[in-house]
Amino acid sequence: MRNTADILGIPVDNVSMDEALSKVKNFLGENRFHSVYTPNSEIMMAARRDPELKKLLCEADLLVPDGAGVVLASKILGRPLKERVAGFDLTNRLFDIAKESKTSFFFFGGKPGVAEEAVNNLLSRNINIEVKGIRNGYFSEDEEDEIINQINSSGADVLLVALGAPKQEKWIHKNRDKLKVKVCIGVGGTFDVLAGRATRAPKFFQEHGLEWLYRLYKEPWRFIRMMDLPRFILLVTAVRIGLKKA
Ligand code: UDP
């Protein structure tokens, strides 16, 4: 039984980081495809505008709250989520247990060369993961079958898809019946951070729900998109006090 919090009609899993990790471990023990998405406020708002995105989020096998905004929303709605489970952190925790759980990875996404740099950085930090394949995230529609063949023939257990949201979620959902991996995770800008091409907010910002503020400072062109965060909190508050329907 899944323990979820309904946030504007989307069932977000109420799991701690450890519980999320153990769910992924269980997925790896089952011989079928599982999708893992990590929505933040922007994606929750995008899902409100895009029914296809909302539907695919609802059909995920695991949906963890990547943003402080989603956790705050759950509190406003009276269904508090345990904690923020950032996709970046979950991916790194998976790397940590990869050797003991004999888990292999395929890195798909990012600009040419970035995933290779990410993997080299991991290996140089003695994070000895088995990487069965790498493919950058810039492709045309007629290259998709070849990419899927490359992923399937690699035999990787986990496919990390870094195409940015919501492109990666849509790509994963569209191809879920063709992919032979056990777990597929949409990881956004994770490869850029692992490659050292982007930085994550310092711990203080992360621990105080202010990662968005740091991101706004580093990437001010995201301003328009990021306005979805206050919009999301206002909408959730309006739903809570009965001014709007969920
Ligand atoms: N990206 C990609 N293919 C595309 C568009 C984007 O591989 O067609 C990659 C891009 O290089 C970057 C990541 O997707 O590495 C998006 O990162 P971002 O931080 O914008 O993701 P978000 O946090 O918005 O999901």
How confident is the model at residue 246, as a pLDDT?
85
CA dist 77 → 148, 238, 240, 246 (Å): 40, 10, 6, 10
CA dist 98 → 22, 24, 92 (Å): 13, 12, 10
How confident is the model at residue 127, as a pLDDT?
92
Per residue of the chain (246 residues), what is the pLDDT tens digit? Answer: 899 999 999 999 999 999 999 999 999 999 999 999 999 999 999 999 999 999 999 999 999 999 899 999 999 999 999 999 999 999 999 999 998 999 999 999 999 999 999 999 999 999 989 999 999 999 999 999 999 999 999 999 999 999 999 999 999 999 999 999 999 999 999 999 999 999 999 999 999 989 999 989 999 998 888 899 999 999 999 999 999 888
How confident is the model at residue 225, as a pLDDT?
86
How confident is the model at residue 61, as a pLDDT?
98
Q: How many CB atoms lie within 10 A of CB 142?
A: 7
Type of residue found at 74: S
Q: Whose Cα sits closest to atom 23 in ligand 1?
A: 188
C-alpha angle with apex 69: 77 to 107, nearest 5 degrees? 125
Q: How far is the CA of 164 from the centre of ligand 1 (A)?
A: 4
How confident is the model at residue 245, as a pLDDT?
87
pLDDT tens-place string over residues 21-67: 999 999 999 999 999 999 999 999 999 999 999 999 999 999 999 98
Q: How far is the CA of 188 from the centre of ligand 1 (A)?
A: 6
Looking at the whole model, is its pTM more than 0.85? yes
Type of residue found at 49: R
In the chain, what percentage of residues exceed pLDDT 90?
A: 90
Ligand 1 site-directed mutation target among 108, 192, 197, 224, most atoms within 8 Å of CB: 192
Q: How far apart are the first and last CA of the chain?
A: 24
Q: How far is the CA of 40 from the centre of ligand 1 (A)?
A: 15
Pocket around ligand 1 at a 6 A CB cut-off = 109-111, 137-138, 162-165, 167, 188-189, 191-192
